C-alpha cells in the first residue's frame, strides 16, 4: 500500500510526454527515428499520442495488459497483442509508469526488439526501462489526471458568522 500520493496534472503530463519525445529523438533504428509506437493501454495511451505528435509518427499500435486490480498488483494478462509491431523492431513502447516491471517483462517477451520508454519510473524496475523522464519514490502512488477530478476544498480557516 502506498504511503504517499503524487498527483500529476494535465499540464505536467503534457510537459513530461514532450520531454520523453525529446529524449527519444535519435534512439530509433531508422536514421534515429522509430517506425511506430506501441501504446500500453490504458495509461500509455495519452503519453503515446503526445509522443507520436512530437516525433511525427503516424503508426500507433495498442497493446492491452491488465496488471492492477485497484492498487494491488496481480498476474499480468495480455488482452490484446500489438499485431502491427511484430517482434518490436523499429517500435518504441510507451507507458505512463514502470512500478515493479511486471507489465514490461511480459511485453519484452512479446516485443524483444522494441525500445521501452515511460514517463515515470520507480526504483524497483528503473533498470529495466530504456528511457524514462522522471524517477518516483517506490512508496508513492501516482494519481494521473484521468484518475482525479478537481473539486472544492474547504479553507483552513472558516469565517465567523
Catalytic residues: 95-96, 99
Cβ atoms of 126 and 132 within 8 Å: the answer is yes
Angle at 36 between CA 32 and CA 37, to 5 degrees: 110
Query: What is the sign of the dihedral through the CA atoms of 89, 40, 16 and 99?
Result: negative
Helices and strands, counts by H and E, the chain: 3, 8
**Three cell numbers written together for 36:** 511506430
Q: How crowded is the C-beta side of 131, counted as CA atoms within 13 Å? A: 20
Amino acid at each position: 500500500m502506498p504511503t504517499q500520493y503524487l498527483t500529476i496534472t494535465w499540464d505536467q503530463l503534457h510537459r513530461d510526454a514532450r520531454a520523453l519525445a525529446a529524449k527519444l529523438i535519435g534512439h530509433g533504428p531508422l536514421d534515429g527515428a522509430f517506425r511506430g509506437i506501441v501504446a500500453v493501454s490504458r495509461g500509455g495511451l495519452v503519453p503515446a499520442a503526445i509522443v507520436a505528435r512530437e516525433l511525427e509518427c503516424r503508426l500507433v499500435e495498442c497493446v492491452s495488459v491488465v496488471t492492477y486490480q485497484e492498487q494491488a498488483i496481480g498476474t499480468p494478462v495480455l488482452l490484446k497483442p500489438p499485431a502491427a509491431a511484430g517482434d518490436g523492431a523499429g517500435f518504441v513502447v510507451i507507458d505512463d509508469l514502470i512500478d515493479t516491471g511486471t507489465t514490461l517483462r511480459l511485453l519484452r517477451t512479446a516485443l524483444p526488439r522494441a525500445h521501452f520508454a515511460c514517463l515515470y519510473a520507480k526504483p524497483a524496475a528503473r533498470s529495466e526501462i530504456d528511457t524514462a523522464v522522471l524517477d518516483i519514490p517506490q512508496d508513492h502512488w501516482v494519481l494521473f489526471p484521468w484518475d482525479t477530478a478537481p473539486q472544492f476544498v474547504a479553507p483552513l480557516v472558516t469565517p465567523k458568522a
